[in-house]
Amino acid sequence: MSRKFEYFIEKAIFLSGAASIVFVALIFIFLLKEGLSLFSEVNVFSFLFGTNWYPISDPPQFGILPLILGSLFVTFGAIVIAVPLGLGAAIYTAEVAPKSIRGILKSGIELLAAIPSIVLGFIGIIFLGPVLKNIFQLQSGLTALAGSIMLAFMAMPTIVSIIEDAIVSVPKSYKEGSLALGATHWQTIYRVILPAAASGILAAIMLGIGRVIGETMAVLMITGNAAIMPTSFLQPVRTLTATIAAEMGEAVSGSSHYYSLFAIGIILFIISFIINVLADIFMHRGKANR
């Protein structure tokens, strides 16, 4: 009886483990099947590097470069804001803060992660947009910058908690050795602890990027959604994700427009995959060094 039970449990666990791989494979195959159909009509080069996204004009143009750049602008801006803030917050919680404050900060950061992205988008439209509009004298505050700021908040929890883990797992002996040589606390953080945690910090940045680039709802609401080639952060942009979300409902099933949205999905999938692989490499390099 118990042997049968063992057998059953073992198989069940195996199946749940295998399921994740099967799902990823199925999703990717589905994406490929739908997306690749586009390339019988449009060539890959003009898809990736075309500067005009007019999917429903006649003839339609499927250049996603403005969308790729839109995603890159927003992501880059978000990372530039979130990394210094996140690094500072992580150093403070891991190294400087007294125990009581550390607890409060950590739950604060976790709460930030719990805010639904639509709420952040909402705040962006109602509050951040008008503020930016006034500061920079724009026609509309819904710009790449607004998207970057809101997404920075979304990336912060990931970045802070992973960097903090990396800092905490730096062997205590490094710190003691450095302090024993007469280093100040800050010198120790800056010269020993951060370099020792470097791979974790890089991994945190990568996962932050992954979080930001895949985000849809908030950017759809606050980046202004204009599929034009971005030249500045003070201009509306549209990201890859927002394009799919906004247009999937209207695209006629089986049309080139429909296929092109799947092709965008493939591009997103590839980008996320690369980012995850990089993060993984950084994490493992960190472990191998210890």
Partner 1 sequence: MVENKSEIRNPKSEIKDSKSEQGNKIVTSKLNVWYDGKQALKDISLNVEMNEIMGVIGPSNSGKTSFLETLNRLNELYPGSRTEGQVLLDGKDIFKEIDKHLLRKKVGIVFALPLPLPLSIFDNVAYGPRLHGIKDKKKITELVEQSLKSAAIWDEVKDRLKENAFKLSGGQQQRLCIARTLAVEPDVVLYDEPCSGLDPISTLKIEEAMRELKKIYTQVLVTNNVKQSARVSDRTAFFLMGEMIELGATTQIFTSPKDKRTDDYISGRFG
Q: Which stretch binds partner 1 (CB under 8 A): 24-32, 126-134, 158-166, 178-186?
A: 178-186
Of 22 and 96, which has the nearer Cβ to partner 1? 96
Question: Residue 181 Cβ, how far from partner 1 at the closest point, in Å?
Answer: 4
Of 76 and 174, which has the nearer Cβ to partner 1? 174
Residue in 178, 199, 216, 256 binding partner 1, rule: CB under 8 A:
178
Residue with tokens 């791979």: 199
Euclidean distance between CA atoms 136 and 120, whole angstroms: 21
Span 186-245, contacts to partner 1 by CB under 8 A = 187, 191-192, 195-196
Q: Could you say whether residue 182 binds partner 1 (CB under 8 A)?
A: yes
Of 182 and 249, which has the nearer Cβ to partner 1? 182
Of 168 and 183, which has the nearer Cβ to partner 1? 183
Residue in 36, 125, 168, 179 binding partner 1, rule: CB under 8 A:
179
Q: What is the dihedral of CA 45, 48, 54, 57, to 10 degrees?
A: 30
Q: Could you say whether residue 48 binds partner 1 (CB under 8 A)?
A: no
Of 4 and 172, which has the nearer Cβ to partner 1? 172
Q: Could you say whether residue 168 binds partner 1 (CB under 8 A)?
A: no
Q: Give the interface with partner 1 as residue ranges (CB under 8 A).
A: 173-174, 176-184, 187, 191-192, 195-196, 289
